[in-house]
Amino acid sequence: MAKKKLRVAFIGAGGIAGAHMNYLSKMEDVELVSAADVVMENVEKRCEEFSIGEAFTDYKKMLRVVKPDAVSVCTPNGMHAPCSIDALNSGAHVIVEKPLAMNAREGNRMLAAAKKNRRKLVIGFQYRFDSKTSFIKNAVDRGQLGKVLYARVHALRRRGIPNWGVFGRKDLQGGGPMIDIGVHALEMTHFVMGSPKPVAASGSIYTYLGDKKSNVVSQWPNWDHKTYTVEDLAVGLIRFDNGATLHLEASFAAHIEKEAWNFTIMGEKGGASWDPPGLFSDENDYMVNTKPHWLPNEDAFQAKMRNFVDHVLYNKPTVAPGEHGLMVQKMLDGIYNSAEKGKEVVIK
């Protein structure tokens, strides 16, 4: 008896779509049936590369004609909500890349569409599949750290403004490093903490390098400073309903010694850091640091895509439900709104 296959289509044919296609194409229970992108040349290249049946420039037509079982949404942030909602309304399950949307209002509409159509909506949060994340998550869940009180989160580049895509345009992305890379560091930390409900946010954003021409040698030179309307640096403090707090720093460009991608959490009984992974506690009247002897070198992105297929095809639990994406989105919104208003804001 032939194995059931999940028929997957793609909206967007850029770099992140290529990653989705690469992993899904290697799964025996998945069939890549179509892809759509506003640039026909781009989508035709992807279809040829991964032997995808049909190429479209109109994703709505693709949904009508192909009727896929599931859709991978890999567009700029501004199209996450409309593409996901249209796909859900067509009867397809959806995995959408981070962040969930441009803002929580759009995210709420996406979740409502999933509920109305009884379809599954998954957010592309691969860092919660990382073995370092699992190591700390297990310690938290088993009570080794006690009540988590505080988390410090960094997603910092010294000079890493993307010189491709539309990452510098607020109208298409919703923001800069906070919503692009800060979202990942935030989501894995929030997940480890047990996904508490955010209730308030305070934040500040600063633009001082990206909107100016620069001759400084860097790994990604010559970004489009003329269309740059996002922040270079964003900082925020989130308060949760359980009394815990989280401080987040994210930058595309900052005058720092080196880049940082990490989180540290502090609890009543112990603490932890993500990189290098370690636990910090008191034992036998001594302060003790515990490090894993070995962690599996698993591909977190592959695990993300496999989890989506298993969730849709075999009804296994998802590690990254749309509801988690919405909570993260509310935190991002809160930081940006606070920065605009100059005061702490309530998260509802």
262-274 pLDDT, tens per residue? 999 999 999 999 9
112-162 pLDDT, tens per residue? 999 999 999 999 999 999 999 999 999 999 999 999 999 999 999 999 999
290 inside domain:
yes
d(CA 124, CA 95): 7
324 inside domain:
no
Tell me, yes or no, whether 83 and 136 share the same domain. Answer: no
Global pTM reads 0.95
User: What does the pLDDT average to over 197-226?
Assistant: 97
For the record, the structure tokens of 278 come out as 């370690």
Last residue within a domain, chosen from 91, 119, 147: 119
253 inside domain:
yes
Tell me, yes or no, whether 105 and 140 share the same domain. Answer: no
| Percent of the chain clearing pLDDT 90 (strictly above) | 98
User: What does the pLDDT average to over 317-330?
Assistant: 98
What is the domain-level CATH number for residue 271? 3.30.360.10
Contact 158, 256 (CB under 8 A): yes
Residues paired with 121 in a beta bridge: 94
49 inside domain:
yes
DSSP state of 294: -
Closest CA to 200 of 252, 239, 158: 239
Tell me, yes or no, whether 167 and 269 share the same domain. Answer: yes
178 inside domain:
yes
Last residue within a domain, chosen from 119, 138, 158: 119
Tell me, yes or no, whether 133 and 94 share the same domain. Answer: no
User: What does the pLDDT average to over 80-86?
Assistant: 98
**Position 1 pLDDT exceeds 80:** no
Q: In the prediction, which pLDDT does 3 show?
A: 73
Tell me, yes or no, whether 109 and 182 share the same domain. Answer: no
Tell me, yes or no, whether 145 and 114 share the same domain. Answer: no
Last residue within a domain, chosen from 86, 119, 152: 119
**Position 210 pLDDT exceeds 70:** yes
Give the domain range for residue 24. Answer: 6-119
334 inside domain:
yes
Tell me, yes or no, whether 134 and 37 share the same domain. Answer: no
Tell me, yes or no, whether 24 and 159 share the same domain. Answer: no
312 inside domain:
no
Mean of pLDDT over the chain: 97
DSSP structure string for 229-274: -S-SEEEEEEEETTS-EEEEEEESB---SS-EEEEEEEESSEEEET
DSSP H stretches of helix in the chain: 15-25, 40-49, 59-66, 80-89, 104-117, 131-141, 170-173, 177-180, 182-192, 300-314, 322-341
Tell me, yes or no, whether 152 and 278 share the same domain. Answer: yes
Q: In the prediction, which pLDDT does 2 show?
A: 52
CB atoms within 10 A of CB 3: 7
Q: Beta strands 148-156 and 245-251: pairing type?
A: parallel
Tell me, yes or no, whether 105 and 141 share the same domain. Answer: no
Contact 123, 100 (CB under 8 A): yes
What is the domain-level CATH number for residue 39? 3.40.50.720
Confidence of residue 330 (pLDDT cuts 50, 70, 90): very high
Type of residue found at 276 = P
Contact 122, 174 (CB under 8 A): no
317 inside domain:
no
**Structural domains counted in the chain:** 2
Tell me, yes or no, whether 80 and 220 share the same domain. Answer: no
242-269 pLDDT, tens per residue? 999 999 999 999 999 999 999 999 999 9
Tell me, yes or no, whether 194 and 258 share the same domain. Answer: yes
| Percent of the chain clearing pLDDT 70 (strictly above) | 99
